[in-house]
Amino acid sequence: MANLVYRRRFTVEWGHCDPAGIVFNSHFFEFFDWSVWLLFETALGVPPNELGTAFGIVGIPLVDAKARFLKPAKFNDVADIASEVSEFRRSSFDVAHRISIGGELAVEGSETRVWAGRAGMGRARPGRSGQIEGHANPSRGHRAVSGHSLEALVQQIPDCGTGGARTVGRMSRR
């Protein structure tokens, strides 16, 4: 199966930059986060604030993040970010991010997130009720929007001439 790639364009804002005039590194993790939520909203057709209702989860919390900074990003640079879920496991998944400026790779990043719900949701868990824990994500066949798994939804997105990778996204100043 080809991976879903979410692509978007944004402009580096003054508030993203440090006194040296380059993007402060923690802002790249915000850019990654925005793209993950937009990827899932696009793939699942569910706004982030409705994921809990649609899937019985509390969210997709971040449990690991890494980045390699290869080229500085400056105020008013136009950046392109491509984000894709590179691997699904039982309750966690990895997301790879690539940010380019002027066609050159500027930042590579990766995240691990967990499909998280409260213990006891739908099953008896004595002594753990209400605690947050990993839940099997829909790519493992659990019910998702309209009874489809995430993998099945990704398969329905057309290959936009990307050599097998499915691309979705929108342009934005954000």
Q: Which residues are catalytic?
A: 18
- Closest alpha carbon to 62 in 5, 111, 20: 111
Distance separating alpha carbons of residues 114 and 131, to the nearest angstrom? 14
Q: Is 81 helix (H, G, I), strand (E, B) or coil?
A: strand
DSSP codes of every residue in 19-69: TTSBB-THHHHHHHHHHHHHHHHHHHS--GGGHHHHHS-SB--EEEEEEEE
Instruction: Match 């006194």 to its residue by tokens.
Output: 19
Burial class (CB in 10 A: 0-12, 13-18, 19+), 38: buried
- Closest alpha carbon to 165 in 109, 102, 82: 82
